[in-house]
Amino acid sequence: MLKTNIAVFVSGGGTNLQALIDAQKAGIIKSGEIKLVISSSPAAYALERAAMAGIDTAVVSRKEAASQADFEKGITDALEKYDIDLIVLAGFMSILSADFTRRYENRIINVHPSLIPSFCGKGFYGLKVHEEALKYGVKVSGATVHFVNEIPDGGKIILQKAVEIEDGDTPETLQKRIMEKAEWIILPEATEKISKEIMEEKNAAI
């Protein structure tokens, strides 16, 4: 039985990557296997997490690439070397072009720290999302896992999980609660869901 080969794209600390590694160990992700972690930064602690889990890594820096096309060629070369079927964006801070997302249509998923279509799109990332949610006065926020297309946060929704906003929340406390109660739960669940679909397709084609 061929499993789905997964690549996780990271840029920073890698807490979502850790959630995926832990879910794989726990058997939550069983239809796929994380074969590669690609970082846009050589200094990302996520690379250490991958190394500790025995997962191969690659660094493809946008800053050092001559162009977007050059940057994406570096990524594609690494993906092809490992025969990757599914890309999971886990705090990846570089924008991918329409050419790239079309090439991997329905094969790239991302976690966003709000209930899309609220507080999403261009410029909405990191603490900014939670700042805007609190400023607006919403009572519920959460996280969304969605397919990635050429529109920022514009792809089809796979899973969502709501998290209540509490009195006295700051962007930082809200960010932490959404990570723990939503992102780290639904990202592995969605990864397994899509991995299972891809695995079934792969094995049917044999």
Assign residue 27 a region: left if phi > 0, alpha if psi is -120 to 50, beta otherwise?
A: left
Range of the domain at 49: 4-110+144-158+187-204
Tell me how crowded residue 195 is: count the other CB atoms within 10 A of its CB: 23
Tokens of 156: 């089809």
- 136 part of a folded domain: no
The predicted structure's pLDDT at residue 95: 86
- 57 part of a folded domain: yes
The predicted structure's pLDDT at residue 154: 92
Summarised one tens digit per residue, pLDDT across range 90-140 is: 999 888 999 999 999 999 999 999 999 999 998 898 999 999 999 999 999
The separation between CA 137 and the C-alpha centre of its own chain, rounded to angstroms, equals 27
The predicted structure's pLDDT at residue 24: 98
- For 6-45, letters b (16+ CB in 10 Å) and e give bbbbbbbebbbbbbbbebbeeeebebbebbbbbbbbeebb
Average pLDDT over residues 63-80: 95
Is pLDDT of 205 > 90?
no
Active-site residue list = 112
- 24 part of a folded domain: yes
The Cα 65–Cα 180 span in angstroms is 34
Summarised one tens digit per residue, pLDDT across range 167-202 is: 999 999 999 999 999 999 999 999 999 999 999 999
Summarised one tens digit per residue, pLDDT across range 9-48 is: 999 999 999 999 999 999 999 999 999 999 999 999 999 9
Summarised one tens digit per residue, pLDDT across range 137-146 is: 999 999 999 9
Number of structural domains (the chain) is 1
- 25 part of a folded domain: yes
Q: Where does the chain show beta strands of DSSP type E?
A: 4-10, 32-39, 56-59, 86-89, 108-112, 140-147, 157-164
Average pLDDT over residues 48-65: 95
- 44 part of a folded domain: yes
Asked if 165 and 120 touch (Cβ cutoff 8 Å), the reply is no
- 127 part of a folded domain: no
Q: Please provide the DSSP assignment of 104-129 as one string.
A: TTT-EEEEESS-TTSS-STT--THHH
Query: The CATH number of the domain where 94 resides is what?
Result: 3.40.50.170
Average pLDDT, the chain: 96
- 115 part of a folded domain: no
- 54 part of a folded domain: yes
Is pLDDT of 63 > 90?
no
Summarised one tens digit per residue, pLDDT across range 25-36 is: 999 999 999 999
